Amino acid sequence: MEFLARFSPLRAYRDLRRFMVTRKRHEYWLLIPSLLITMFVVVSLQHDFFSKPEYKREIIYVKSWPLTRSEAEIHAQQIIDKAEQIRVEAELEKQRKVRQGQFKKLDDKLKSWGI
């Protein structure tokens, strides 16, 4: 706390005034954009730091099976589940191909521009 006791607003103002008197006119004009850019970066980082991530609840339902199931029932359910899994994977692969086509189109456009 001894370090903070030596600060005085009056001395700080005098020091700033003495510093500003020694500057040339063009340095004031360059000071404005540099302060604006710095403030923009600080405010952007502060906004990103304090924004909370979106919370999305994920509910997972579990099937309840009776203990008296036979091996045949288990095998039949596995066949049904496998068919569903193959359908879901095919749909996902179809979506991936569409997305890959979009990226390919964008890449071709950027190559035509020389990027």
Residue 45 is given by DSSP the state: H
Total domains in the fold of the chain = 2
Q: HSE of 86 in the Cβ direction (CA atoms, 13 Å)?
A: 6
Same domain, 6 and 46: yes
Same domain, 46 and 84: no
**Range of 31's domain?**
2-50
* Global pTM value: 0.42
Q: HSE of 102 in the Cβ direction (CA atoms, 13 Å)?
A: 5
- Determine, yes or no, domain membership for 100: yes
Same domain, 11 and 42: yes
Residues of the chain with pLDDT under 50: none
Mind listing the pLDDT tens digit for each residue in 33-64? 999 999 999 988 887 777 677 888 999 888 88
Same domain, 44 and 77: no
pLDDT for 93 equals 97
